[in-house]
Amino acid sequence: MPKLTVNGVTHTVDADPDMPLLWVLRDRLDATGTKYGCGIAQCGACTVHLDGQPVRSCQTKVGDVGTAQVTTIEGVSGRVAEAVQAAWRKLDVVQCGYCQSGQIMSAIGLLSGNAKPSDSDIDGAMDGNICRCGTYQRIRAAIHEAARTLA
Amino acid sequence: MLNARRPNAAPVRPSRRGLLAGAGAIVVAFRLDAKPARAAAGPDLASVKAQPNAFVRIAPDDTVTVIIKHLDMGQGNTTGLATILADELGAAWSQVRTEFAPADATLYNNSLMGPIQGTGGSTAVANSWFQLRKAGAAAREMLMAEAAFRWKVPVSEITVADGVVRHAASGRQARFGELAASAASLPVPSEPRLKDPSEWTLIGQKVPRLDSVAKTNGSATYSLDIRRPNQVTAVVARAPRFGATVKSFDAAAARTVAGVLDVVQVPTGVAVIARDTWAAMKGREALTITWDDSTAETRSSEAILAEYRERAKGRGLTASERGDPQAALEGAAKVIEAEFTFPYLAHAAMEPLNATIERAPDGGYDVYAGFQFQTVEQATMAAILGVTPDRVRLHSNWAGGSFGRRATPTADYLAEAATVLKAAGEKAPIHLVWTREDDMAGGYYRPTVLHKVRAGIDAKGAVVGWDHVMVGKSIMIGSPFEAMIVKNGIDSTTVEGASDTPYALPAYRFGVHNGREGVPVLWWRSVGHTHTAHVMEVMIDELAHAADVDPVAYRLSLLTQAPRLAAVLKLAADKAGWAAKAQNKPQEKGRGLGVAVHESFGSYVAMVADVTAQEAGIRVNRIVAAVDVGVPVNPDVIRAQVEGAVGFALSAVLRNRITLKDGQVQEHNFDAYEPTRMSEMPKVEVHIVPSQAAPTGIGEPGVPVLAPAIANAVFSATGQRLRALPLDLTGVKGA
């Protein structure tokens, strides 16, 4: 049975290795902060980090995770994560909020590798994350705000 | 039950039953006549009774919990409703919490919908404004009375601010939590003094959204996140054509899929019940089902539109008529004849439809979902389960969007959840999940619509006549709301925004044919205005250009009796630099400005779009919006809703459509029905008109003006009129 390390805790997961990480997180580990939106890597709502890199958990087979550290919205931490979450709150980015776990995980990924992203960097890193409420203007502003606080 | 003690009378200790402190309920029932959800014509909201016990609870730890009777699907009404009550109460924002109300048609009905608890028509703040102010003010007066009693001072010397009750002369003060339990047993003032707007400390200010923290750390619970002990997950295989039924099915292979627990037939199809979502989906793939299409809609969307085009040659039912437009058009100097078409649209909220339902040990049922029509949904499920509605307890959650989809008169997905529970023997809690594909191909679309307009001007450019016919399927006909809304065959939600146009058109007729296709249709964020505003605002723009008059000035000349619309139009034009840019034509090649203005749900919105139309497509650079929603309760939430309306509606302007081929929906996921993405989002500026009029809503009114503002800008950029949505630049010269 696959072993899976999520937010620093190792679990033995009784699941088919083909089962997407998304459903293992949500239905086996009850870590429901990571969202199901499309199941085909079109919306980014399921974004988590594997060893710090954003991936779509709906297209990541649990059997392929191996020893990589899985980080979800519930466990994300550190200076960048705190800056991003604080910016999201300061600017009241959220509306329905359903996509925002994925948006935040993508934004943390972006800022972890690029301390001062341009608008086109933001387009590139965030275009895979759909927000049906259309909060993009505030997401963009919050990423710039987080970058300022991190500088 | 109420203690008759007056605030400054002899100190008799009241009993300690406490509503403000948490238990029981002094229920003052009220019921208002059902009227269409339009504030101006609606019931007398100001006469609502003060009901602090229904709407606020103050705990010993000083937290103030505001009870939210509406669904918050992202529009921020939780923050807005709490703001109203907290301000009148005198609470500090930091002590405010919220809790979703249970279903109760008497206590928590929508005052603008009659005896129904529901959210829609941008009514949450509008219908609650006096109700929550009175509740907050009554609770404040009860706290003041308790303090006056304790301190033996006149209540007139007591003040309340920032969550503290004070007597300045003696220097005494108390926190709400210290007073609430005792205050709760005081009489509820029937006519508490409402604050003068000059006393407001929260209303009109930016206050942090109450859901920002939970929605940024993964802790906010949506109904898809509900995990009940022993729950099992169900997905349903539904007919590929609307109206089809199961003829036969073979579940043998599905039952062998690991994790599949059961397969049952339900009225909507075949349900696969499994240990988890993944197993349920795999099990469903292994089903073999033969469908009976004898009662199904089997046409393609083009065929439906072709039927509409044919029917539009007839006059239709008269929704509105003044003068004789046909005669007037005969004498016109110029006549413009135009056809506008609109596709079906899916709501495509990020959280697909879902619900969790279980039978409780007491024989009742508990249901967890994002309820948008609580009492309708409760009654529908109760009828299926064979119990009285009070035995079906609704537990509301944050909804991951809705845009209208969660409010179905048939309670479709909740009814389905009840049928699955029943078919499965009510043994385990059923977590019903609609996949993205189920959600998108599941119907209940914004209707496809066709409009045909003939409008003419005289030699001076003035409108002389406007003859308008539309065809589209009614949302209300055949629904439980038909008797309330539909008059003489005309569904006001089909024709709203056109049959009641505020433009001073001297001769005008609006005729409507109701569509008859077997495709389930529903309100989609701003309902009839999604198409009527587009037609009216593009046609007016065409007439302005035909008259060679500036489109803003032309509209203003027709809006002399609509001052609030005229004001938002002027404000948006001013902030967008309309006059200067309009004079400096031609601008950059392929770039243009367009304007639109519209009233919906009692709110007034104008937008100016700055658009670049090139071969690669339409790029919206900037949107400048002006809105008048009466008192802006939460200005930042209002701005967010207008920004969001742009992001939400833009993909419908540019590309979204649901199409049927031989009755089968062709778009199943975000690859074929792609919402707006980050790189496409224009800069949006929102200007709010200061107002002391009773507040109206803003969840929907930002949507209707976007498409016509963009279409008019495309005309300005290219000289070509695009009348069909989504806008298609193919073959447009100048692009």
- Which has the closest alpha carbon to B476: B467, B486, B465, B468? B486
Q: Do A38 and B670 touch (CB under 8 A)?
A: yes
Q: Which residues of A touch B675 (CB under 8 A)?
A: 130-132
- Closest residue on chain B to A120 (Cα): B679
Of A73, A92, A140, the CB nearest to B218: A73
Share of chain B above pLDDT 90, in %: 89
For residue B612, the distance in angstroms to the closest alpha carbon of chain A comes to: 18
User: What tens digit of pLDDT does each residue of A79-93 get?
Assistant: 999 999 999 999 999
- B735 confidence band (pLDDT: 50, 70, 90): low
Q: Do A136 and B678 touch (CB under 8 A)?
A: yes
B390 pLDDT above the threshold of 50: yes
For residue A6, the distance in angstroms to the closest alpha carbon of chain B comes to: 14
Phi/psi region, residue B18 (left: phi>0; alpha: psi -120 to 50; beta: rest), is beta
Is-contact B283 B274, C-beta < 8 A?
yes
Q: Do A35 and B224 touch (CB under 8 A)?
A: yes
- B615 confidence band (pLDDT: 50, 70, 90): confident
- Closest residue on chain A to B652 (Cα): A132
Q: Is A56 helix (H, G, I), strand (E, B) or coil?
A: strand
Contact residues for B356 (Cβ-Cβ < 8 A; gap 6+): B223, B226, B228, B231, B367, B368, B369, B417, B429, B430, B431, B432
Of A40, A92, A139, the CB nearest to B669: A40
Q: Do B209 and A94 touch (CB under 8 A)?
A: yes
- B586 confidence band (pLDDT: 50, 70, 90): low
Q: What is the model's pLDDT at position B29? A: 23
Q: Is the ipTM value over 0.95, yes or no?
A: yes
pLDDT greater at residue B49 or residue B226: B226
pLDDT greater at residue B144 or residue B16: B144
Give the integer Cα–Cα distance in Å for B350 and B726. 21
For residue B615, the distance in angstroms to the closest alpha carbon of chain A comes to: 21
Q: What is the model's pLDDT at position B481? A: 86
Q: What is the model's pLDDT at position B729? A: 87
B114 pLDDT above the threshold of 70: yes
Q: Which residues of A touch B647 (CB under 8 A)?
A: 131, 133-137
Q: What is the model's pLDDT at position B581? A: 80
Q: What is the model's pLDDT at position B205? A: 97
Q: Which residues of B touch A34 (CB under 8 A)?
A: 218
Q: Do B401 and A89 touch (CB under 8 A)?
A: no
Q: Which residues of B touch A107 (CB under 8 A)?
A: none
B150 pLDDT above the threshold of 80: yes
User: What tens digit of pLDDT does each residue of B310-334 get?
Assistant: 999 999 999 999 999 999 999 999 9
Q: What would the mean pLDDT of B112-127 be, rounded to a whole number?
A: 92
- A4 confidence band (pLDDT: 50, 70, 90): very high
Q: Do A96 and B351 touch (CB under 8 A)?
A: yes
Q: What is the model's pLDDT at position B666? A: 98
B38 pLDDT above the threshold of 60: no
Give the integer Cα–Cα distance in Å for A50 and A67. 10
If you average pLDDT over every residue of chain A, what do you get? 97
Longest CA span, chain A: 44
Q: What is the model's pLDDT at position B614? A: 87
- Chain-centre distance for alpha carbon B437: 23
Q: What is the model's pLDDT at position B74? A: 97
For residue B282, the distance in angstroms to the closest alpha carbon of chain A comes to: 10
User: What tens digit of pLDDT does each residue of B276-287 get?
Assistant: 999 999 999 999
- Closest residue on chain B to A141 (Cα): B683
Helix (H) or strand (E) holding B470: strand B463-472
Q: What is the model's pLDDT at position B113? A: 87
If you average pLDDT over every residue of chain B, what do you get? 93
User: What tens digit of pLDDT does each residue of B654-668 get?
Assistant: 999 999 999 999 999
Q: Which two tokens stand for residue B294?
A: 């004898």
- Closest residue on chain A to B436 (Cα): A38
> Taking the CB of residue A120, how many other CB atoms lie within 10 A of it?
9
User: What tens digit of pLDDT does each residue of B432-452 get?
Assistant: 999 999 999 999 999 999 999
Q: Which residues of B touch A88 (CB under 8 A)?
A: 212, 216
Q: Do A88 and B73 touch (CB under 8 A)?
A: no
Q: Is A41 on the interface with B (CB under 8 A)?
A: no
Whether the bond into B240 is cis, omega within 30 of 0: no
- B30 confidence band (pLDDT: 50, 70, 90): very low
User: What tens digit of pLDDT does each residue of B591-607 get?
Assistant: 999 999 999 999 999 99
Query: HSE (CB half, 13 Å, CA atoms) of B430?
Result: 33
pTM of the model: 0.94
- B731 confidence band (pLDDT: 50, 70, 90): confident
Is-contact B648 B640, C-beta < 8 A?
no
User: What tens digit of pLDDT does each residue of A111-148 get?
Assistant: 999 999 999 999 999 999 999 999 999 999 999 999 99
Q: Is A102 on the interface with B (CB under 8 A)?
A: no
- B40 confidence band (pLDDT: 50, 70, 90): very low
Q: Which two tokens stand for residue B102?
A: 């249970």
For residue A99, the distance in angstroms to the closest alpha carbon of chain B comes to: 7
Q: Do B212 and A88 touch (CB under 8 A)?
A: yes
B3 pLDDT above the threshold of 80: no
* Chain A stretch 44-73, residues whose beta carbon is closer than 8 A to a beta carbon of chain B: 45, 72-73
Q: What is the model's pLDDT at position A113? A: 97
Sole residue written with tokens 């008497």: B106
Q: Which residues of A touch B258 (CB under 8 A)?
A: 16
Per-residue HEC secondary structure of B409-443 comes to CCCHHHHHHHHHHHHCCCCCCEEEECCHHHHHHCC
- B19 confidence band (pLDDT: 50, 70, 90): very low
Q: What would the mean pLDDT of B185-213 be, rounded to a whole number?
A: 97
For residue A150, the distance in angstroms to the closest alpha carbon of chain B comes to: 18
B289 pLDDT above the threshold of 50: yes
Q: Which residues of A touch B683 (CB under 8 A)?
A: 137
Q: Is A87 on the interface with B (CB under 8 A)?
A: no
Query: Residue B157 carries which DSSP code?
Result: G
For residue A23, the distance in angstroms to the closest alpha carbon of chain B comes to: 7
